[in-house]
Amino acid sequence: METPADPAALKPAVSCIKTDSAGKPYLEGHKCSACGEVFMETRRGCPKCFAVGTLSPVKLSDKGKLYNWTVVYRNFPGVPVPFVSAIVDLEGGGTLKGNLIEVEPDPAKLKFDMPVKVVFGDAGRTDKAGNHYLAYFFAPEAA
Amino acid sequence: MSDVYVVGTDMIKFGRFPDRKVEDIGAEAALLALADAGLTIGDMQAVYSGNLGQAGAGVGQRILRQIGQTGVPVVNVANACATGATAFREGWMAIKAGVYDMVLAVGCEQMGKGLLGGAGGGDGISTEGLLGSGTMPSVFAHVGLEHARSYGTTFEQFAKVSVKNHHHSTLNPKAMYQIETPLEEVMGAEMISYPNTKLMCSVNVDGSAAAVLCSEKKARELGLLGRAVRVRASALASDPYTQHNLAAMDFNAVTKLAAKTAYEMAGLGPDEVDLIELHDCFATAEIVHYENLGLCGPGGAGRMIDTGETNLGGRIPVNVSGGLLSKGHPLGATGIANIYEITTHLRGEAGKRQVEGARIGLTHVVGAGSACAVHILEKV
């Protein structure tokens, strides 16, 4: 997955995708200053320790480990299958679901805790107005 | 506080009824449950109606238009796949609180075929299949593989759940299907989301179930205790925070929480339970709930399915109705259909699938999002 020439020109597919001042995309999480837990998306209170108003944005690592996966063979019409649905734990906090690409979608090829990196690319689907979107993906990290 | 009893309950044979109205499907079970108790809708002081697909469309009131507009309070309940059990629990609470002596809980659902769920939409495009998968087969594939991650559980072990529950359903005339599915057929069926094949996914069906709940005083007064079943515990939980539950729905912590509450309320442990109807929406789910409900220690579930401990005739039979996998899963009805199944065994009226000598039974449902309801019932 090649990062698009100008990712900042694409709309983020989800709100946790941000671009830095150099135009480079990254994932943003929110960290609770009371308990230290990192979440995707902001909230009024901390879901873990219930403190209110303690979350602040934090730039997440682009490296992580494959916590869990499944190979999806049947999906809604128009969604290309098979693909790997992955749950990834990022280094330093943040857990999210995404597609694992650049790997054969074969249960025998997928290993729990295999190192992965976060990559960004065109979502490959547009809204009704024809706008393109920037999505995140996971890809195996060379050991 | 009064003990609460189930004094009448029934379900319709689950199936596909595209030409019927959902309130007609619900009304049928309501009348069957009332007849089972020897009562009428005029005896009910409140109605708790569970339906998910038309939540907000007054299904409870529409059922009363079919069987009698008595003017009693109607509470329409929606709580994902725990909808029916939550409606039952609302009725239980009202009697516990002393507000009513006799209420009707009814759950009904009319469903289409095909996939449920799907990841939430992004700002402008669907994220399903882009940012992983949120379909129910995928969500519960993740549930199963998280167990495999910890304990090495195999595709074959998950598949054996489906073999067992389809076998059980051959003994249940009210199940959607009564068809044996040998292991090679289950494992060889179309793969939907690894390791769940098509035969390891529950059946989307239309259906309904109902129960009449009654206070001890009223049941005694009306002479209804003979076939009554006591509700020993009713517990409901939402998902407590876990590291992964915001990315992958959690059904483990929520079930452990509801189960702990229910066992404490009933004053008993899993060893004293004679049969269980648990939420096998996918074959992978049944395995994890053996442990969540305390039927075995951590990592013991694979051995339980391998040794047949949860078969009819085994140490602790699970889903002898055929379960959601083969009896079917009409979302709003499922929780009350489980109550019907357990009650039928405790009454000794379950025919060929009867768990002999059953005195204590447990029902369990989870709902995506997440919710978990556990009820423990006891033969009187």
Per-residue pLDDT reduced to its tens digit, B292-319? 999 999 999 999 999 999 999 999 999 9
What is the structure's pLDDT at B120? 57
What is the structure's pLDDT at A134? 96
What is the structure's pLDDT at B146? 98
State the ipTM, two decimals.
0.95
Return the residue of A nearest to B135 by Cα: A75
Averaged pLDDT of chain B: 96
Instruction: Tell whether omega for the bond before A47 is within 30 degrees of 0, i.e. cis.
Output: no
Q: What is the pLDDT of residues B215-255, one digit of tens each?
A: 999 999 999 999 999 999 999 999 999 999 999 999 999 99
In chain B, the domains with their CATH numbers are 4-113+203-379 (3.40.47.10)
Catalytic-residue membership of B201: no
Q: Does residue B171 carry a pLDDT above 70?
A: yes
Catalytic position from the list B166, B329, B345, B375: B329
Q: How confident is the model at residue A143 (pLDDT cuts 50, 70, 90)?
A: low
Cβ–Cβ gap A70/B145 under 8 Å: yes
Q: Which of B115, B124, B248 is opposite residue A131, by nearest beta carbon?
A: B124
Q: What is the pLDDT of residues B50-101, one digit of tens each?
A: 999 999 999 999 999 999 999 999 999 999 999 999 999 999 999 999 999 9
For residue B139, give the nearest of B292, B290, B299, B281 by alpha carbon: B281
Catalytic-residue membership of B167: no
Chain B residues with CB inside 8 Å of A87's CB?
Answer: 132, 142, 244, 247-248
Note whether B195 contacts A: Cβ–Cβ < 8 A.
Answer: yes
Write down how long chain B is: 380
Q: Which of A71, A87, A123 is opposite residue B194, by nearest beta carbon?
A: A71
* C-alpha to C-alpha distance for B250 and B371, rounded to whole angstroms: 9
Cβ–Cβ gap B193/A131 under 8 Å: no
Q: Are B65 and B24 in contact (CB under 8 A)?
A: no
**How crowded is residue B203: how many other Cβ atoms within 10 Å of its Cβ?**
23
Q: Does residue A112 carry a pLDDT above 80?
A: yes
Strands B74-77 vs B47-50: parallel, antiparallel or unpaired: parallel
Q: How confident is the model at residue A2 (pLDDT cuts 50, 70, 90)?
A: low
Mutation site, A85, A100, A111, interface B, largest B CB count within 10 A:
A85
Q: Does residue B203 carry a pLDDT above 70?
A: yes
What residues in chain A have their Cβ under 8 A from chain B's Cβ atoms? 11-15, 39-40, 47-48, 67-76, 79-81, 83, 85-87, 89, 95-99, 107, 112, 123-127, 131, 133, 135-136
Q: Where are the domains of chain A?
A: 7-140
Q: Which of B127, B145, B247 is opposite residue A95, by nearest beta carbon?
A: B247
Mutation site, B139, B190, B246, B254, interface A, largest A CB count within 10 A:
B246
Chain A residues with CB inside 8 Å of B133's CB?
Answer: 70, 72, 75, 83, 85
